[in-house]
Structures are given as structure tokens and as C-alpha cells.
Amino acid sequence: MKKNMKKFAEEIISSLKKVYPDASCELVFENPEQLLVATILSAQCTDERVNIVTKKLFQKYKTLKDFSQAEFKILAEEIRSTGFYQNKAKNIIACSTEIMEKHSGVIPKDMETLITLPGVGRKTANVILGSGYEIPSGIVVDTHVKRLSFRIGLTEQTDPEKIEFELMEIVSKEDWILFSHMLTWHGRRRCKARKPDCATCEIEKICPKNLQVQ
């Protein structure tokens, strides 16, 4: 069964590579430090909204040291439109402070250390390592990856971490980073939650017909 799932995953990936060969993180950033902040802000928020906020934010706060020294109330107000802004502001300041004090201002390049930082879980760590450092540490399971991997039959799990580990078993490590980007792009552009465009979908022929749209 697992062998068949690997073959199915390879077919999906091969098809998506033809459509989204340049798929990448859609958060706008210039370095891993900016990506860290943007990813924390992206929780329960669209990348589009985050990019609007960070365009001004990164002009004021240019380094993690700047964020570590930010005034909580001011930063919270500056990121208010991303939602859960008080918790995000707290995490950004605390995370930046810990990186400055314990890691000489350099974001760690390993999963084990990253997930000990305030506001950083597996998903955020995978984004930093994959899109920031090009290190395939795992597969980013965002809303789109979770929805599409279930919808097209790559997993029956609903928990993001369990989904990730299942996908890691059937997707080649060399494709981990690109795979999550392609699935996210496909979810935003073609296989939308409420009204998937199955008629012109590039993977429609290999998408299981017996699955109801979830």
C-alpha cells in the first residue's frame, strides 16, 4: 500500500512541477530574520495581509535586535490587522530576544533548537529551514496542504503533524520543500476550498473520483 502511495505521490508531484516549477513561499522577505517574523504573523492570517503589514514593519525594524527592543504596545498596534496581535507581538519580542541572547543573533538551523523558541512550532520551523535556509527538515502543512493532501487522497489524517509525517514517508526528501509550495499554490489558484476548478485542473485525471470535496 505504501509503495502504491509513493507512486501516486510521485505522479502528483510530477504533474504539479509542470504547472508550478517556480513555486515558492509567498511571504515577502529578504532574509531568514524577516521570514521568521512574517511566519509568526501568518498564523490565522493570509500571506497577502502579512505582506502589507511587513512592508512598513521591516522599514522600521531592520534586525532582530530592533524587534527585541520593540515596545510591546506599539508593536502590537502595528501588527493588529494580522489578528491575535497581542500574542504575536509578545512572541516576536520574546523570540528575537532569545535569539539575540542565546544564539548570538543568528537563527538556529536545526528543528530541535528552533521549536524551543517562543512562538515557533514545527510548521514555523519548517518554513524557516526550508524557505530561509533551503534545508529540507520536513513538510510545511499549512491550511492548503492539509486540505489538499486529504482531498486528493494522500492522507486520511486530520492532525497537521500526523499529516506531515505521513507525507514525509511518501514524498522524496528532495521534494519536501517544493511539494508544500506547489500544493499551496494549487490550493490558492485551482483547488479552492469552496469551489475547486476541477474542469481545468492539471491533476484531475489522477485525482480520486470517489472522494467528496471536503
Tell me the percentage of the chain whose pLDDT exceeds 90. 90
pLDDT above 60 (res 212): no
Residue positions annotated with a catalytic role? 123, 142
pLDDT above 50 (res 158): yes
What mean pLDDT comes out for the span 44-51?
A: 96
pLDDT above 50 (res 213): no
pLDDT above 60 (res 197): yes
Which pLDDT belongs to residue 188?
95
Q: What is the pLDDT of residues 88-97, one digit of tens each?
A: 999 999 999 9
Domain with CATH 1.10.1670.10 in the chain: 2-24+141-206
Rg (CA), the chain: 18
Domain with CATH 1.10.340.30 in the chain: 32-133
Q: In the structure, what pLDDT confidence band is assigned to residue 2 with cuts at 50, 70 and 90?
A: low
pLDDT above 60 (res 200): yes
Pair 126, 132: CB distance under 8 Å? no
Domain 32-133: assigned CATH number: 1.10.340.30
Fold of 2-24+141-206: Endonuclease Iii, domain 2 (1.10.1670)
Pair 190, 179: CB distance under 8 Å? no
Which pLDDT belongs to residue 210?
42
Which pLDDT belongs to residue 207?
86
159-166 long-range CB contacts below 8 Å, 24 or more apart?
160/122, 160/123, 161/122, 164/122, 164/126, 164/138, 164/139
